[in-house]
C-alpha cells in the first residue's frame, strides 16, 4: 500500500509546501482525503512520479487553467483548457504526470480501492470494477463542483472543521463518483421513514456527550444500527436538520445558557462548547445569533 496521494505526499509531487488537507474514514476501512494544492509561480515543471496503487485522484480546478501536457503510462497527450469547477480523473495505477507551466489552484480528492469496496458493501451491491472517464477528458459535473467548493472553508481552517460535515461531504462525493463513473447500481428502494424514538434518543445523547464534534457519521449510524446514508436521511427527516446542523445548534444553545447563567469567560465558554478557540466561537455565534457573544451577554443582563 502506497503512502497515499494526499497531504504532504501530494505536496512533494506538485512541488508545493504545506497543503491543507482533510481526511475521513469510510466504514473504518478506507481513508478518503481532500488536499488543496496551490502554486502562484510559473514553470513548476513536470510533477514527480506517484507511487502506483489501486486508487484515483479527482482533480477539481479552483481557477481557469490553460492547456497542459499530460502523460499516462509514458504516453503524452494535450489536456485542453479547464474552466473553474471542472475536473479530471486519474488512475494511480497508470503513472499520471502533468507538466505545470502556469500557476494553479486545485482540490485533489483521493479515492482508494478500499473506499469503493466499502460503499459497494454498504449498499449490498457488486464491487465497482473501476472509475472510468476517457483519458484527458475534462468533466463539468455540478455535483462534484458544489461538494468540492463546500469543503473550502474546512481546508482554510482545518482545526475548526466539523468532523460530521467533512464525513457527509466526502461520503457524498464518493457515492456520486461510484454511481456515475463506476456503474455502482443505485439502491432499488431507498429506506423510508425517520428514526425510531430510541435511535433518535441515542444519536442525540452521543452528539451531546461529544459536543466538541469528535464524533463521526459512521459512529452515529452504527449506534442506530443503520448504514451511514440511511441514518443521515432518517435523521434529517426526523429533526429537520442534518446531524452537523443539529450539533451546531446545540452548541449555540449551550453557549447561550453559559453566557446567561455563568461567570465563565468567553474563551472558557468557547472551550467548553467544543469550539477551536475564542475567535472561532465568536464568528460562529455571530453568524447564528446576529451579535457577538459579549454583546449578547450584555443584552441578556
Domain ranges of the chain: 7-181, 197-240, 245-300
CB-based contacts of 12, cutoff 8 Å, min separation 6: 48
Q: How confident is the model at residue 3 (pLDDT cuts 50, 70, 90)?
A: low
> Domain 7-181 in CATH: superfamily?
Jelly Rolls (2.60.120.10)
Taking only the tens place, the pLDDT of each residue in 197-212 is: 999 999 999 999 888 7
The pLDDT, as a whole number, for residue 255 is 94
C-alpha cell at 133: 472517464
104-112 and 55-61 strand pairing? antiparallel
Q: pTM value?
A: 0.81
Q: Positive or negative, the Cα torsion across 50, 56, 62, 66?
A: positive
Residue range 245-300 in CATH 3.30.1280.10: no
Asked if pLDDT for residue 257 goes beyond 70, the answer is yes
Asked if pLDDT for residue 16 goes beyond 70, the answer is no
Taking only the tens place, the pLDDT of each residue in 129-175 is: 999 988 778 999 999 999 999 999 998 888 888 888 999 999 999 99
Q: How confident is the model at residue 1 (pLDDT cuts 50, 70, 90)?
A: very low
**DSSP letter assigned to residue 94:** G
Taking only the tens place, the pLDDT of each residue in 83-96 is: 999 999 999 999 88
**DSSP letter assigned to residue 43:** -
Amino acid at each position: 500500500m502506497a503512502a497515499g496521494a494526499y497531504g504532504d505526499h501530494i505536496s512533494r509531487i506538485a512541488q508545493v509546501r504545506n497543503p491543507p488537507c482533510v481526511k475521513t474514514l469510510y466504514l473504518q476501512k478506507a481513508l478518503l482525503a481532500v488536499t488543496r494544492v496551490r502554486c502562484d509561480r510559473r514553470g513548476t515543471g513536470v510533477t514527480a512520479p506517484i507511487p502506483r496503487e489501486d486508487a484515483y485522484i479527482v482533480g477539481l480546478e479552483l481557477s481557469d487553467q490553460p492547456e497542459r501536457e499530460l502523460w499516462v503510462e509514458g504516453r503524452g497527450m494535450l489536456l485542453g483548457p479547464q474552466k473553474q469547477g471542472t475536473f479530471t480523473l486519474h488512475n494511480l495505477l497508470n503513472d499520471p504526470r502533468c507538466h505545470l507551466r502556469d500557476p494553479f489552484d486545485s482540490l485533489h480528492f483521493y479515492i482508494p480501492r478500499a473506499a469503493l469496496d466499502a460503499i459497494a458493501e454498504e449498499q449490498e451491491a457488486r464491487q465497482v470494477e473501476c472509475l472510468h472517464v476517457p483519458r484527458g477528458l475534462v468533466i463539468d459535473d455540478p455535483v462534484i463542483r458544489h461538494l468540492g467548493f463546500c469543503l473550502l472553508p474546512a481546508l482554510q481552517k482545518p482545526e475548526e472543521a466539523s468532523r460530521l460535515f467533512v464525513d457527509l461531504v466526502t461520503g457524498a462525493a464518493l457515492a456520486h463518483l461510484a454511481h456515475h463513473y463506476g456503474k455502482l447500481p443505485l439502491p432499488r428502494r431507498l429506506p423510508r421513514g425517520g428514526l425510531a424514538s430510541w435511535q433518535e434518543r441515542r444519536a442525540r445523547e452521543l452528539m451531546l456527550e461529544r459536543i466538541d464534534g469528535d464524533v463521526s457519521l459512521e459512529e452515529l449510524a452504527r449506534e442506530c444500527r443503520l448504514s451511514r446514508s440511511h441514518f443521515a436521511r432518517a435523521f434529517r427527516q426526523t429533526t429537520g436538520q442534518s446531524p452537523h446542523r443539529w450539533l451546531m445548534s446545540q452548541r449555540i444553545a449551550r453557549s447561550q445558557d453559559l453566557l446567561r447563567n455563568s461567570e465563565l469567560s468567553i474563551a472558557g465558554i468557547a472551550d467548553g462548547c467544543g469550539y477551536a478557540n475564542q475567535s472561532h466561537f465568536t464568528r460562529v455565534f455571530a453568524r447564528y445569533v446576529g451579535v457577538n457573544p459579549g454583546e449578547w451577554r450584555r443584552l441578556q443582563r
